[in-house]
């Protein structure tokens, strides 16, 4: 039975399970606004995009926690007034819509991430077309 599950996952592409369109935030979004969005949508993280939808980073709940725990940042002012650009991760792991879900799952496990932006290449950079989360990927395990 487990072999059949792995074989099935191997046939499913990211586009079939990704959340689209991707909800994203801009670098200038405040942590206060970000926290509210995470609560409303029950998301662990958001891709950070510029005005043209080009991926600039990823911001997660963990990044927010780190901002509040960082004594240097906190001493400089209220962490809620900081922006996403101050705390986001750059050099983000991504997948493409035609990648196999198995690849996304392996990246999530190996890199300890919950959310991976799904991108298509453009001359200006990677355009965000969706996200795949552990919750989305779990859909591949349904019979």
Tens-place pLDDT, residues 3-30: 444 446 668 999 999 999 889 999 999 9
What is the sign of the dihedral through the CA atoms of 105, 109, 111 and 112?
Answer: positive
Which of 94, 23, 27, 96 lies closest to 56 in space, CA to CA? 27
Tens-place pLDDT, residues 99-138: 999 999 999 999 999 999 999 999 999 999 999 999 888 8
- pLDDT of 139 above 50: yes
Domain 2-141: which CATH number of 3.40.50.300, 3.10.580.10, 3.20.20.80, 3.30.1360.120? 3.10.580.10
Tens-place pLDDT, residues 43-74: 899 999 999 999 999 999 999 888 878 766 55
pLDDT at residue 138 in the model: 83
Instruction: Give yes or no for a contact between 81 and 49, defined as CB atoms under 8 angstroms apart.
Output: no
Q: Please state the pTM of the whole predicted model.
A: 0.85
pLDDT at residue 69 in the model: 80
Instruction: List the chain domain ranges.
Output: 2-141
Q: Residue 75: which pLDDT band, with cuts at 50, 70 and 90?
A: low
Q: Residue 76: which pLDDT band, with cuts at 50, 70 and 90?
A: low
């Amino acid at each position: 039975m487990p072999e059949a599950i792995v074989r099935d996952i191997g046939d499913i592409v990211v586009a079939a399970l990704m959340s689209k369109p991707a909800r994203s935030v801009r670098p200038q979004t405040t942590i206060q606004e970000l926290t509210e969005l995470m609560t409303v949508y029950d998301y662990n993280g958001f891709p950070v995009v510029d005005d043209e939808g080009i991926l600039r980073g990823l911001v997660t709940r963990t990044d927010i926690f780190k901002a509040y725990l960082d004594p240097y940042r906190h001493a400089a002012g209220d962490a809620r007034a900081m922006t996403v650009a101050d705390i986001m991760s750059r050099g983000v792991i991504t997948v493409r819509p035609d990648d196999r879900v198995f690849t996304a799952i392996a990246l999530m496990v190996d890199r300890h991430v919950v959310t991976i932006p799904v991108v298509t290449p453009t001359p200006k950079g990677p355009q965000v077309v969706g996200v795949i989360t552990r919750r989305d990927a779990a859909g591949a395990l349904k019979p």
